[in-house]
Amino acid sequence: MLRSLRRGARTDTAQQTTRATHPVPAATADRTATASRVHAFNRFEIKYLVPEERAEDLRNELRRHMDQDAHSGPSGYPVTSVYYDSPHLTFYWEKIEGLRFRRKLRIRHYGTSDDLGPESMVFVEIKQRVNRVTQKRRVVLPYRDALRLCSAEGDEPCGEAAGRERGFLQEVATLVGELDLRPTVTTAYQREAWVGRDADLGLRVTLDHRLRGRDRDFHLSSESLNRLTLPPRLAVLEIKANERVPAWVTDLTARMNLDIVRISKYCQSVQAFGLAPRSVMHAADEVDALLQDPVTSDADDTPNRKGALTP
């Protein structure tokens, strides 16, 4: 029998607005520690847009300094996420307006939908930004339990949970209840990943191709087709470092004439489906010009027997 973790869920608009700019009380420093199935990461993240015709040059350079991620394989691996937000898109606007503290809640699956069933393990994640540092906390749960945890009822997963794990589960349930969170968009892409070696052990680099998503049918194994949310000629390069970005990385991006961009896969999906406009405070920049290509149906992605997206 599942027990509800929901405590005093309220959806008053004024209360939601206040909470949107401040951490939920449950998010105490103690709960950012790694314990049991909860994993925590604090790191700096830098993003670039990479033309696909330059991707092979980039790979060759990365192979000189880094090792391929053990899960990456020759063509990478699929990543699919369902993002939760309030009816007023609280998390979206936190990002667009550049708040020093902002966050997202998502359920993430690595692999195709052929691999996904009620007992398949997925990640429930809270990703937040505090000034320039990205903090990610996540717990691995069976997909069935992840959906229940992030539902309006906030049901606790079955089985025993350690103290900090239980604290994280409570935080997720409280966040869902207080902000009236619900599935808003999905994102999907094919990811290549590399990890640092020797002095760069804290370094991780990812290259994400064919960004796409949908604004309905939020089950991760849905057969619904996705739409491109970024022109297919562009990939997203992310540099993730614990403390510093190695000099060879900055030299590489300079040689390839890559410019740092502030792009959110979640926000791209929200905007692609017209769920919200850009903020009136947003100043146009070179990224906006790159993103002028019309978003079209992702007809090149053929679903497999369960609707999984092909690379």
**Beta strands per DSSP E along 219-275:** 227-228, 234-241, 260-261
Which pLDDT does position 74 carry in this prediction?
Answer: 81
Question: Average pLDDT for consecutive 10-residue bins of the chain (311 residues)?
Answer: 49 36 34 52 87 96 93 89 97 90 95 89 93 88 95 74 80 94 96 92 94 94 89 95 90 94 92 78 52 47 35 33
- The torsion defined by the Cα of 90, 92, 96 and 97, in degrees rounded to 10, comes to 10
* Exposure b/e, 21-37, CB count within 10 A at least 16 = b: eeeeebbeeebbeebeb
Question: Which alpha helices (H) appear in the chain, and where do they start and end?
Answer: 13-20, 55-65, 90-96, 143-149, 163-179, 247-255, 265-272, 286-290
State pTM to two decimals: 0.80
CA dist 48 and 297 (Å) reads: 24
Which pLDDT does position 114 carry in this prediction?
Answer: 84
Comparing CA positions, the residue from 127, 128, 164, 122 lying closest to residue 31 is: 164
Which pLDDT does position 269 carry in this prediction?
Answer: 94
Comparing CA positions, the residue from 110, 141, 135, 169 lying closest to residue 40 is: 135
With beta carbons less than 8 A apart as the criterion, state whether 187 and 229 touch.
Answer: yes
157, two tokens: 């997963």
CA dist 47 and 249 (Å) reads: 12
Which pLDDT does position 67 carry in this prediction?
Answer: 94
Helix (H) or strand (E) holding 195: strand 182-196
Which pLDDT does position 15 carry in this prediction?
Answer: 38
Radius of gyration of the chain (CA): 19
Name the amino acid, one letter, at 115: D
Which pLDDT does position 4 carry in this prediction?
Answer: 60
